[in-house]
Structure 1
Amino acid sequence: MTTAERDERERTVRLSVPEMDCPSCAGKVTGSVERLDGVRETDPAPTTGTLAVTYDAEETDAGDIRERVEAAGYAVESSDGEDELGLSVPEMDCPSCAGKVENALEGVEGVASFETRPATGEVRVAGDADRERVVAAIESAGYEVESATGDEGGPDVAGPSDVWTSPRALKTWAGAGFMVVGLLLEFFLTSADALLFSAVGREFHLSAVLLLLSAGIAGQEILRNGYYSAKNLSLDIDLLMGTGVVSAVAVGLYFEAATLAVLFSIAELLERFSMDRARNSVRELMDLSPDTATVRRTDADGATTEETVPVEEVGVGETVVVRPGEKIPVDGRVLEGTSAVNQAPITGESVPVDKSEDDEVYAGTINEEGYLEVEATAEADETTLSQVIELVGDAQRDRTDREQFIEKFAAYYTPIIVAGALVTAFGPPLLLGGEFREWFVRGLTLLVVACPCAFVISTPVSVVSGVTSAARNGVLVKGGPHLESMGAVEAVAFDKTGTLTEGELAVTDAVPLNGNDEEDLLGCAHDLERRSEHPIAQAIVEHAHGTSNPHDEHGEDRPIENFESLTGKGVRADLGGVTHYAGKPALFAELGFDLEHVHLSTDGGQVVADAAESKCDDREDCLDLLADVVPRFQREGKTVVLVGTEDQLEGVLAIADEVRPSARETVSRLQDWGVECVMLTGDNEGTARAVAEEVGVDDYRAELLPEQKVEAVEDLTERHGTVAMVGDGVNDAPALAAATVGVAMGAAGTDTAIETADIALLGDDLRKVPYLYRLSRKANAVIRQNIWASLAVKAVLAVGAPLGLVSVAMAILVGDMGMSLGVTGNAMRLARVEPEE
């Protein structure tokens, strides 16, 4: 087979395997997949739960690969070969509703996987199923599908005003009108309450007919949904209320039937209205990005024109024109122009940020004053804003501990109360000779109390409110469990570089040794470090380019050989056939340099190293100079990098990183709440001590390798139970993963940070950490209030109903309508939690 034929038959499929979250898991999956004939290459990514497989299309296919993954014990959620359908199902607003929809979607041909999000009224379906078939399945469960979109956009969210003019609302108002007239005739205008007819052994007066019409019209949706609940064997509110209406009519309790139908329908509308308010917070995020963009393109004649196109049609690399006052439609890089950009919608920064050539900008931010030309660096569905919207929606996927408890509790609560309602309705009349009508009404009331609706929605609506509130302030919380955990942390571990400090390192001092001059030292350091991606290396390279000529005589970078990064220590490479090193003093101690007497001295003062004293001629003189220079640099909080060979030191470089102005304030606020603050850094003891003293942390640990940072986090977890780690999301990934909650700084525009962290601060404002902690604590408090208030009200009603102290109307108005509105309104308070200035 030729190479061309081989390439033509080669395909790559990417699978989402969320449970593959560790190297061991990845090994099992790849081992299973690689048994297939035709598999060329496997590339697992446990951090993001994805697997890429390159295969020969004539020997195997994506279906076989999926089967091998599942054979290893791991579920495949979706693949890049599958379409995803987004559906708006506004009436699906509780876990019970979601359960019926899920039952309806089970077994639908072509549906590979699905996910219901009751807090936002969305259903996501992956696979190649026919859209009409999926919609029909959901509607067969009793829920209307209002809109559907594919990958190009999320489903629409109905606005609150739509609720009061919906078909169900109109039926409810009609039913309420009939009920009011019927009550007037029965209780106040009895002379006008004429007998219309007799049937099934009963007399039907005008009031009875009006009340029956009221129950039939207002209760139409209740009966319809109750039918689907019975069909799906779902013991939920619709089945309970539908049974109640039918039973009340059957025994001649027309007033109770009409009251139940009308008041419950109004309760459902109010609940829908309040849920839509919560959903609108998600829609507000979706509305941040403009629908169109002005793109500069070249036509067939070679002329350059400006076209206004849908933002989805803007390709990577195209130039987008953004005028003053317009929203930036894409993530990109400024090609031309300067302006102040309001980044508050993305990063939560209150002050506009100046942007000029080569600066990054984000979709959804606002160009305040200048003219900008921006090169698009991401498709519309891959921008930071689109990731935020998607992940906020996904925040409902993982259940918090409280949600799991509530669902288990509700699974026992509802059947027990239903059984109690049956005993109340039929026990006393059959066993004790009680009046049937009276005890039936009490049983019916207890049946209403059996609905755990407010109790069940108390947590998810709070999570959605808290997560969207955080997103509007530049904090991306990837799920309710992380929001819950952040409010319970007792210790926060901070990375130093880029977190407590600005992360913009610069060379502040250069001390050449052994007859070298500064240009020699910087040239050698540049060549050693230019292949490294470490921030210190980049600072050295940038400084070398700015102050000297680190190139050979032809103006090109000098060739290096055998480059090696020594993790946590420095780098090594061959220059001109001689092995050179650049790194920490500890690295040169390992090479045999006697650096034991290079310690922190008590002598103060600024380092001054003129040419005479710096050009030491032998090894001992250089070590003596280091004994004076290195401690002084370290005492000033600077990082020391030595440059040299195995036999000779060529010089010393000092690199400094400024502490963020907000670092001390952040640490102080957390400490005021009783949270222990610890700094973890790979930097030297002197630098760590200087920064720790400046920001006021309780403790610090220096000279840590990545695995030692993990050990430090684990040690803090043993002492405190719940620990948050704040870092850059890339270099600190192991420590972030080891912590209870991993928080990534400055994640806007950084896919890796957004994907790997539990929580991402989209901007670089460290003050968002105490805001996040305060929001999480308030969210936990709101959830507790909602749960216990719901339990207390249900308990009182459950006791009062059999005793005749609670009416059907009271059970609905207080236990269902009142508590649903109460918990939703309480949850919406989280939207008002703002960062403190």
Structure 2
Amino acid sequence: MNTPDTSSSCCSTDTVKEKSVVSSTCCSNKPEADRLQEASIRFEGDMKTFKVTGMDCPSCATTLEKGLSKRQDIETVKVNYAAGKMTIASKDPNIFESIPGLVKKFGFEAEEERSTKKPDVYEITGMDCGSCAATIEKHLGGNPSVQSVRVNFSTGKMHISHTLTDEQVVKEVQKAGFDAKSSTWRKQEVSDQKPIKPFPVTTVSGILLAIGFLGSYLMMPEWLVTVLYATSIVIGGYKPARSAFYAVRSRSLDMNVLMVSAAIGAAIIGEWFEGATVVWLFALGNSLQNRSIERTRDSIRNLINLTPSEATIKSGNGHVKKNVGDISTGEIMIIKPGDKIPLDGEIVTGISSVNQAPITGESLPVDKEPGDTVYAGTVNESGSLEVRVTRLSEDTTIARIIHLVEEAQEKKAPTQAFIDRFAAVYTPIVFILALLIMVAPPLAGFGTWSEWFYKGLALLVVACPCALVISTPVAIVSAIGNAARNGVLIKGGTFLEKAGAITAIAFDKTGTLTEGKPKVTQVIALHVDSDRLVSIAKTIEEHSTHPIAKAVISYADERNISAMKGSDFTAIAGKGATAVIDGIEYFAGKPKLFKEMGLSTAHIDERIDAMQNEGNTLVAIGTRDQILGLIAVADTVRDITVRSIEKLKQVGISEMVMLTGDNKGTAKKMAAETGVDRYFAELMPEDKVTAVKKLQDEGKQVAMVGDGINDAPALATADLGIAMGGAGTDTAMETADIVLMADNLEKLPHTIRLSRKALTIIKQNIWFSLITKLAALVLIFPGFLTLWMAVLSDTGAALIVILNSMRLLKLK
């Protein structure tokens, strides 16, 4: 039988023999995944998804749903017309094979959708530059068990979709000459075994090189010196040679190929010392580079380590320690003074101050009381707290920050994308040029074969654009890591570059420049003293939940002004409220309420107009016979706003603009208080987009700062969208290009300064890399550049670029 329609519009549930069928046109407050999960809980069976083609409109989906739901062997069926998908649940696993045939009877085509696993993430070690990442991608990409693979050199991460085991993935990466280990921030496996120290390849290779060099001056047999050099080459060059083999097999020209070619070539022409020096310098340079770049990657690992792995959970009359991964929402955590908070939650009992700097970057602890939200990774400064868990370990604010930062660090900036394209063309060209230099001049009778072969080898070494390729990504990783530590999420290199080019910033007023909460700004007592006026107002307003009423009550509480005993509390819709105090009827409301009661306000009209023009909302307090006084309520400028705007001017932002729906008088006053240069007043929400476009038409690069929800159109229109208060709202974290985790502008000047510094360092890196390459190329032909100098110029330049980029990590 059918249950009655449960909605006046479109929300309906048809039940056929305990079947739940949800129409594709139905509205629901729950996400689809949640509804399907609930459906799967109601029976013990399988659930599969099919792609459906041939549907013309939502009614086709309804027809298909109702038709299939009549079958006894189908528990639930849902067809999503927009997505072209159908989900079916059944206790009979054999039914799924017949679904395409059943669907065809209704005039549609269906094909089972094979579930795809989310790419696994592995940490890769041993990469020297971006071309090493390309080698791994090409090697693994040729494996039939690998659906997709993406390797990012700057973060050292590999994202791979595959059907291999972890061990097989690691072995495949090792075949390419690198090491890999499964990476996930959620599970931090701790082994009792001490890590095995790697063989000191660079040290041994260097010692053999030094002994051979000294031996050549100490009358050591020449064959023994050659053996020492050769052994140094083999030990130091084994790993690069293995990597070079797989790079060539993957049709990739990376630094390993060039170095191995140079070492072998030097040995062929009898330059054993040169060959050994090339290999040792290359190994030393790589070791230093890896150590340096690991420090930039630590910007994320430090975030991961903010949260404790265990939490104390209230259980019955006692407390138990539990791994954070095993804790469910609703459980009560016990947080002692000085403890880090393990999971996001809501305070149940206790009052304390919490240091939220790891999440929001705020310099001062924030007072917390029952009902307030606390975040994983923050520190409880004082007072014991009982906190109800509201999010699982993988869903906490810090977890989402880590995920967003990792994604951001792997997004290529426009500069990086250009350099990668340039390097892809440049390297093969120089490689071919090196081969021509080895062959063409001696064939033409200019010089000896060994002379030009040596110059060609030097050019091979110089050819690899390692320093150039890493000039941008390492700087971006460092800058984004620095920003994340200071409570700012930059969604990628593109937005980092845009932030550095911003010339004007448009601010939404309410909640951005101001508190967003009204406060009493002035009390004007006419016929009673101010304390009594406030006491009367508090008595009347105590029964109201209106924001203005709350402002009056808060003002009275701050000054310890108590309410009087009242009765007959009545709200006057849209005008105010009334109460009887000591037998007299008092009113609190808009000035026009008293005008309607027949009272003259002529003696205070001028003052009322002036205060309203300054952005105040007025509450008049009085009786039926006279007005006793006025209370002015207004949204107040944040204490930190003025300082932040001053700092933004100091870092070179040419114009600060305020966007507000207030009248021009209020806007002018607020602009003067905050220090903004210009304002647009009396704006409807859609007018903010027009205001942003006007600034862009004036030739400015515009950033829009808002709350990430109401200001979404303006945020999207601006060259850069910046949302505030990301720690409290998921929407802000998802919508904007840059998110200020704290609910204030304190970190915005740092963000602009960091972005501009990053742009400067990227330009320095690029020019330094190009000039170094050019100088090396010029010095090859006169014979000034030896092989070991060529290696030093390449690895040295890469190391200097990395160290220069790391300065962004320490920018305060």
TM-score, L = length of structure 2: 0.77
Deviations 1:140-188 (A, max 9, x none): 332211x2145734899xxxx999x534xx2222222222222223x30
- For the 8 Å contact 1:13–1:79, the answer to whether it is kept is no
Q: 1:2 aligns with which of 5, 16, 23?
A: 16
Structure 1 gap segments, 5+ residues each? 15-28, 45-50, 65-77, 195-204, 299-303, 512-516, 530-534, 559-574, 584-607, 643-651
Q: Partner amino acid for 1:428?
A: P
Give the secondary structure class of the aligned counterpart of 2:515: coil
Could you tell me which of 790, 799, 805 is aligned with 1:821?
Answer: 799
Q: Determine which of 625, 629, 634 is the counterpart of 2:612.
A: 634
Structure 1 residue 616: deviation in Å?
A: 2.6
1:193 aligns with 2:193: no
- Is the counterpart of residue 500 in structure 1 residue 500 in structure 2? no
Written as runs of structure 1 = structure 2, the 5 A alignment for 1:519-598 is none
Q: Counterpart of 1:266 in 2: which secondary structure?
A: helix
Is 1:166 matched up with 2:198?
A: yes
Contact persistence 2:704–2:718 (CA under 8 A): yes
Contact 2:659 2:680 in 1 (8 A): yes
Which of these residues, 116, 122, 128, is aligned with residue 151 of structure 2? 116
SS of residue paired to 1:766: coil
Match of 2:765 among 773, 781, 786: 786
Matches within 5 A, 1:299-698: 304-506=317-519, 614-617=593-596, 631-638=609-616, 655-672=633-650, 673-698=652-677
709, 714, 717: which is aligned to 2:696? 717
Q: Is the 8 A contact 1:489 1:675 kept in 2?
A: no
Counterpart position of 1:210: 228
Q: How big is the shift at 1:763? A: 1.1
Distance 1:640 1:375 in 2: 41
Q: Structure 1 residue 762 and structure 2 residue 741: aligned?
A: yes
User: Does the CA contact (< 8 Å) of 1:348 and 1:763 recur in 2?
Assistant: yes
- CA-to-partner distance for each residue in 1:428-471, whole Å, 9 max, x for gaps? 22212412222222111111100111111111111111111111
Matched-pair contact (CA < 8 Å) for 2:704–2:722: yes
- Give the C-alpha shift of residue 346 in structure 1: 1.4
Q: How far 1:691 sits from its partner (Å)?
A: 1.0
Partner residue in 1 for 2:28? none
Contact 1:492 1:676 in 2 (8 A): yes
TM-fit CA distance, 1:115: 3.7
Residue of structure 2 aligned with 1:705, choices 663, 673, 684: 684
Q: Which amino acid aligns with 2:295?
A: R
Specify the code of the residue in structure 1 equivalent to 2:765: N
Partners in 2 of 1:241 and 1:467 — Cα distance?
A: 33
Structure 1 residues 168-212: Cα deviation after superposition (integer angstroms, max 9, x where no partner): xx2222222222222223x3023x315xxxxxxxxxx11112211
Q: Tell me the distance in 1 between the aligned counterparts of 2:354 and 2:591.
A: 50
2:166 is aligned with 1:139: no
Change (3 A) 1:4 1:758: farther
Report deviation, 1:8.
Answer: 11
Residue 725 of structure 1 and its aligned partner are, at CA, apart by 0.9
CA gap of 1:418–1:625, structure 2 versus 1, over 3 A, is farther
Alpha-carbon distance in 2 for matches of 1:229, 1:137 = 13
In the aligned structure 2, how far is the partner of 1:541 from the partner of 1:712? 37
User: 1:626–1:694: structure 2 CA closer, same or farther, 3 Å change rule?
Assistant: same
- Counterpart secondary structure, 1:395: helix
After superposition, residues 133-282 of structure 1 pair within 5 angstroms as 133-145=168-180, 147-149=181-183, 152-153=186-187, 165-167=197-199, 170-185=200-215, 187-190=216-219, 192-193=220-221, 205-282=223-300
Superposition map of 1:62-101 within 5 A:
82-92=117-127, 94-101=129-136
CA distance in 1, matches of 2:766, 2:354: 42
**Quick check: 2:541–2:549 contact (8 Å CA) kept in 1?**
no
Maintained 8 Å contact 2:312/2:320: yes
User: Do 1:639 and 1:683's aligned partners in 2 also have CA atoms closer than 8 Å?
Assistant: no
Q: CA RMSD in A?
A: 4.3
SS at match of 1:219: helix
CA distance in 1, matches of 2:286, 2:266: 20
Aligned partners of 2:696 and 2:282: how far apart in 1?
48
Q: Contact 1:510/1:518 (CA < 8 Å) preserved in 2?
A: no
Q: State whether residues 331 and 360 of structure 1, in contact with CA within 8 Å, keep that contact through their aligned partners in structure 2.
A: yes
User: The residue matched to 2:517 in structure 1 has which SS?
Assistant: coil
User: Partners of 1:8 and 1:110 in 2: how far apart?
Assistant: 38
* Whole-Å separation in 2 of the counterparts to 1:225 and 1:33: 55
SS of equivalent to 1:764: coil
Among residues 307, 314, 318, which one is paired with 1:289 in the alignment?
307
- 1:258-291 per-residue CA deviation (whole Å, 9 max, x = no partner) reads 1221111111111111111211222111111111
Equivalent residues of 2:282, 2:795 under 8 A apart: yes
Bigger shift: residues 795-804 or 94-103: 94-103
Give the distance between the partners of 2:212 and 2:661, measured in 1 at CA.
79
Measure the CA separation in 2 of the matches of 1:235 and 1:261.
17
Contact 2:458 2:786 in 1 (8 A): yes
| Aligned partner letter, 1:148 | S
Read off the aligned partner of 1:222 and give its amino acid letter. Answer: P
Quote the offset at 1:636 in angstroms. 3.0
The C-alpha deviation readout for 1:733-763, integer Å capped at 9, x for no partner, is: 1111211111111211321111111111111
SS in 2 for 1:432: coil
Contact preservation (8 Å) 1:84, 1:151: no
Give the 3 Å change call, closer, same or farther, for CA 42–710 of structure 1 in structure 2.
farther
| Aligned position for 1:74 | none
Distance 2:601 2:422 in 1: 71
User: What is the number of residues matched between the two proteins?
Assistant: 704
SS at match of 2:244: helix
SS at match of 1:658: strand
1:310/1:710 CA distance change after superposition, 3 Å: same
Tell me how far 1:665 sits from its aligned partner.
Answer: 2.1
Specify the alignment match of 1:47 in structure 2: none
Which residue identity does 1:804 align to in structure 2? Answer: G
- Measure how far apart 1:823 and its partner are: 1.0
Select between 821-830 and 3-12 the one with higher mean Cα deviation.
3-12
1:24-35 superposed matches below 5 A: none
Pair 610,629 (structure 1): closer, same or farther in 2 beyond 3 Å: farther
Letter in 1 for 2:19: E
CA displacement, residues 694-722 of structure 1 (integer Å, 9 cap, x when unaligned)? 11211111222222111211221222342
Match of 1:48 in 2: none
User: Is the partner of 1:487 in helix, strand or coil?
Assistant: helix
Q: Is the 8 A contact 2:502 2:653 kept in 1?
A: no
Q: Quote the residue 1:55 is aligned against.
A: 87
Over 3 Å counting, the alpha-carbon distance change for 1:809 and 1:540 in structure 2 is same
Letter in 2 for 1:135: V
SS at match of 1:89: strand
Specify whether residues 677 and 216 from structure 1 end up closer, same or farther in structure 2 by C-alpha distance, changes over 3 A only.
same
Question: Match for 2:438: what amino acid?
Answer: A
Task: State the identity %.
Answer: 39
User: Taking structure 1 as reference, are residues 3 and 263 closer, same or farther at Cα in structure 2, changes over 3 Å only?
Assistant: farther
Distance in 2, matches of 1:315 and 1:80, equals 27
Say if 1:138 and 1:4 are closer, same or farther in 2 by CA, change over 3 A. Answer: farther
Q: Which amino acid aligns with 2:260?
A: G
Residues 637 and 656 of structure 1 are in contact (CA less than 8 Å); yes or no, is this contact kept in structure 2? Answer: yes
Aligned amino acid, residue 347 of structure 2: V
